[in-house]
């Protein structure tokens, strides 16, 4: 072949192979088919779902099925006339694909003298070529010429076959076979088979066909081709194709892995493909495709004199010599320095001292670990851990409801209770933000002082009951830790602060709207009602306040902090306890008598309603309840409402109804207060009524609100007297304090 013709062929191949890159390699496409039949499919190859393949040349057709129902992969065809090319194996690292190709044949028919000449065209994707290093052209038959042509009709190679001179023999081994090499990698080609001599009609029919095909070197033996009839019906040759991703002097950004490189194809002129760097294997077209090869796991990959000294590194490996020897530990036949002995007195002394120091360190560390373990076990037992485990073991699926954390887990979650993890401080302890090993955010409550051992069983009972609560508006108790001096409680993490934070006018000029306030009140009332009437054992919260109503990112309310809560059995109407709670929210009847009942939480919730209406905070307004009731008696409700509520110009009827409900909740006589269930139902009804009124006549609602409410621009609506009170903290019956309280006539 002349140099000019060779140059033209190279230019034609470059033009045929050029196709712009379509879709960049994705890091991971979960929707793509990863396997078709027994063949692994990975980028840049892929099926036609979404963007699973780089471009059409790499599309795999996985729709066909074989006789046993298993899917079979094929290269996508450009036309129906193209042969089906079955995919057997894809190698990303060597840029090769093994396919199964049909065999071309021509048969002599004595009844049709023209049927002894056959042309068969094979079409490949533009970025594929038949490897000229791993394939040959084979011809099998008698008195046959067979040639291989490129897509331009240029003959590349060919050969002829003859049969045995013994014409009377019908043994198939007399058939001739020839083979020839390629000069270049071929993309699209045509096989032309010609009989150059006619057969005698007395010859066996099995000798009337000749075959030509391209096949991988060594993929079959001559004996595989003896049965020519079987070849025509079932035989398909295995062919190795080279493929590339780009043909413009680079890989065009196709190599996504940091451990991949772009290299020119050795067999396809002008083509480039991605390859993992030395020491890495995998798919270079994925971001994390090229993985480090652990040479130490394969003795054929490492040349360490002492295999146990092999240490794998990123893309390579290192060998070391035994103690007392020097060198790099590699075989000298591959350029290593081997190992040579070194013995020095200072080294021996150093080793002995190091051994003694290590032994002392290990003994001290073991003693510390044993002491720490004993302390954790003692704390666990003193905090009632065994009793809690006994209670939990009696419940089915208790592990889904309650978890016993270790001290190490919670220290790791809070970076050893770092100050920067503190979410808030209260009278009963400090709350930290923690991150568990599964990346779940939690709130961890750490008490300030240890509890009275006499109340450990009571504490365990409360923790156990709280762990059974599953209400969307109650902060869920996930578990506890009993290995510390005082128990640690682990709650779900609520990320948007407390209701108190959002009512602060100095920090929230654009506060939550009235609709949101009403929804928060309704959700809170529903949660308290659930605790009092639907829980397995009724629970009186005893510290309902805006600071204990947390909001998530959707401003959904969640009731929190059950440190002062009490369990009330069904046969108990009220419980005598030491007065405990927060001044400003405390039920005056409970404060005077020390008798706790469910109406105590109703009073505290009524104060929260007043805060939502007025924007005033109970702990800064020592007579907020009295001030609110007297304002309603004097028909001054619109003067004390929060201006941020009035700015919305909402329906006056809803505001008046909520104010009336709050007034009934804070009556001094508990028997005159509504139940929490009635409060929740009434709030839900007001929300429904508000939506109905707004939809029925929005214009009328706006005019009526402007007339009745107006804008509170010249009156701040707040009293001049305010005082701050501290929270009464501690566990049940642990702290006793007598407090004077102004008795307020709650609207009688």
- Residues marked as catalytic: 543
Give 619's DSSP letter.
G
Residue 61 parent element (H or E): strand 60-61
Angle CA 428–499–662, to nearest 5: 100
Nearest residue to 163 (alpha-carbon basis) of 208, 205, 119, 118:
208
Give 198's DSSP letter.
P
Write the CA distances from 6 to 1, 148, 459, integer angstroms.
7, 16, 91
Angle CA 594–600–606, to nearest 5: 140
Q: DSSP string spanning 673-706?
A: SPPHHHHHHHHHHHHHHHHHHHHH-HHHHHHHHH
What are the phi and psi torsion angles at 102 (to 5°)? Answer: -70, 160
The gap between the terminal CA atoms of the chain, to the nearest Å, is 115
Residues 6+ apart with CB under 8 A from 274: 92, 95, 245, 251, 254, 255, 257, 260, 261, 262, 263, 284, 285
Residues 6+ apart with CB under 8 A from 707: none
Nearest residue to 387 (alpha-carbon basis) of 281, 436, 458:
458
Rg (the chain; Cα; Å):
43
What span, in angstroms and rounded, lies between the C-alpha atoms of 414 and 205? Answer: 86
SS3 track for 383-451:
CCHHHHHHHHHCCCCHHHCCEECCHHHHHHHCCCCCHHHEEEECCCEEEEEEECCCCCEEEEEEECCCC
- Region for residue 557 given its phi and psi (left: phi exceeds 0; alpha: psi -120 to 50; beta: otherwise): beta
What span, in angstroms and rounded, lies between the C-alpha atoms of 204 and 207? Answer: 6
Residue 11 parent element (H or E): helix 3-17
CA 652 distance to own-chain centroid: 48
Nearest residue to 744 (alpha-carbon basis) of 624, 620, 611:
624
Angle CA 721–724–729, to nearest 5: 150
H helices within 556-673, ranges in order?
A: 588-593, 598-614, 624-633, 637-640, 643-646, 652-665
Angle CA 157–163–164, to nearest 5: 145
Residues 6+ apart with CB under 8 A from 467: 401, 402, 477, 479
What span, in angstroms and rounded, lies between the C-alpha atoms of 61 and 366? Answer: 63
H helices within 445-587, ranges in order?
A: 456-467, 499-503, 514-533
Residues 6+ apart with CB under 8 A from 255: 261, 262, 274, 284, 285
Pairing label, strands 477-481, 403-404: parallel
């Amino acid at each position: 072949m002349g140099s000019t013709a060779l140059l033209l062929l190279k230019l034609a191949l470059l033009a045929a192979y050029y196709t712009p890159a379509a879709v960049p390699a994705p890091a991971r496409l979960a929707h793509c088919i990863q396997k078709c039949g027994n063949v692994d499919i990975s980028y840049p190859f892929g099926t036609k779902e979404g963007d699973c393949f780089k471009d059409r040349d790499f599309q795999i057709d996985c729709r066909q099925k074989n006789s046993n129902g298993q899917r079979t992969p094929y290269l996508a065809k450009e036309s129906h006339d193209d042969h089906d090319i079955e995919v057997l194996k894809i190698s990303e690292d060597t840029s090769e694909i093994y396919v199964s190709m049909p065999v071309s044949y021509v048969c002599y028919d004595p009844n049709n003298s023209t049927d002894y000449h056959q042309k068969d065209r094979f079409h490949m994707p533009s970025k594929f070529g038949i490897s000229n290093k791993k394939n040959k052209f084979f011809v099998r038959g008698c008195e046959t010429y067979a040639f291989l042509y490129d897509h331009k009709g240029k003959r590349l190679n060919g050969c002829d076959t003859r049969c045995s001179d013994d014409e009377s023999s019908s043994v198939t081994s007399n058939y001739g076979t020839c083979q020839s090499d390629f000069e270049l990698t071929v993309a699209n080609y045509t096989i032309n088979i010609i009989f150059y001599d006619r057969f005698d009609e007395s010859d066996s029919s099995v000798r009337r066909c000749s075959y030509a095909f391209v096949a991988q070197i060594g993929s079959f033996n001559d004996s595989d081709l003896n049965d020519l009839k079987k070849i025509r019906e079932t035989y398909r040759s295995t062919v190795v194709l080279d493929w590339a991703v780009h043909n413009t002097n680079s890989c065009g950004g196709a190599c996504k892995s940091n451990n991949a490189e772009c290299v020119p194809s050795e067999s396809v002129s002008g083509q480039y493909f991605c390859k993992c760097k030395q020491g890495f294997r995998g798919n270079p077209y994925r971001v994390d495709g090229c993985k480090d090869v652990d040479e130490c796991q394969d003795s054929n990959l490492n040349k360490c004199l002492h295999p146990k000294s092999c240490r794998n590194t990123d893309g390579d490996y290192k060998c070391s010599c035994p103690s007392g020897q020097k060198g790099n530990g590699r075989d000298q036949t591959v350029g290593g320095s081997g190992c040579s002995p070194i013995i020095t007195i200072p080294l021996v002394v150093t080793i002995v001292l190091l051994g003694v120091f290590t032994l002392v360190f290990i003994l001290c560390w073991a003693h510390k670990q044993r002491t720490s373990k004993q302390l954790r076990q003692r704390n666990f037992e003193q905090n009632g851990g065994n009793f809690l485990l006994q209670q939990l073991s009696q419940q089915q699926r208790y592990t889904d409801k309650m978890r016993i954390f270790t001290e190490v887990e919670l220290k790791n979650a809070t970076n050893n209770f770092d100050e920067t993890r503190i979410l808030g401080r209260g009278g009963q302890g400090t709350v930290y933000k923690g991150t568990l090993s599964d990346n779940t955010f939690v709130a961890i409550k750490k008490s300030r002082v240890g509890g009275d051992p006499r109340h450990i069983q009571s504490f365990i009972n409360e923790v156990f009951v709280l762990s059974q609560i599953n209400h969307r508006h109650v902060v869920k108790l996930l578990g506890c830790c009993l290995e510390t001096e005082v128990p640690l409680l682990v709650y779900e993490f609520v990320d948007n602060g407390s209701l108190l934070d959002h009512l602060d006018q100095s920090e929230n000029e654009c506060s939550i709207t009235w609709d949101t306030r009403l929804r928060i009140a309704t959700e809170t009332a529903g949660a308290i009602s659930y605790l009092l009437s639907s829980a397995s054992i009724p629970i009186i919260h005893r510290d309902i306040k805006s600071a204990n109503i947390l909001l998530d990112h959707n401003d959904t309310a969640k009731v929190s902090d059950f440190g002062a809560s009490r369990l009330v059995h069904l046969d108990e109407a009220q419980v005598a306890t030491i007065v405990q709670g927060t001044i400003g929210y405390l039920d005056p009847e409970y404060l005077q008598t020390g008798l706790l009942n469910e109406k105590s939480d109703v009073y505290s919730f009524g104060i929260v309603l007043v805060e939502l209406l007025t924007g005033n905070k109970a702990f800064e307004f020592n007579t907020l309840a009295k001030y609110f009731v007297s304002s309603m008696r004097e028909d001054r409700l619109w003067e004390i409402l929060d201006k941020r509520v009035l700015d919305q110009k909402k329906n006056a009827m809803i505001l008046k109804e909520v104010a009336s409900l709050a007034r009934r909740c804070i009556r001094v006589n508990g028997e005159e207060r509504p139940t929490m269930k009635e409060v929740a139902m009434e709030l839900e009804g007001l929300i429904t009524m508000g939506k109905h009124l707004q939809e029925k006549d929005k214009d009328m609602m706006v005019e009526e609100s402007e007339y009745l409410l107006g804008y509170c621009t010249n009156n701040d609506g707040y009293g001049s007297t305010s005082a701050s009170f501290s929270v009464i903290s501690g566990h049940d019956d642990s702290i006793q304090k007598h407090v004077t309280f102004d008795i307020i006539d709650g609207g009688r």
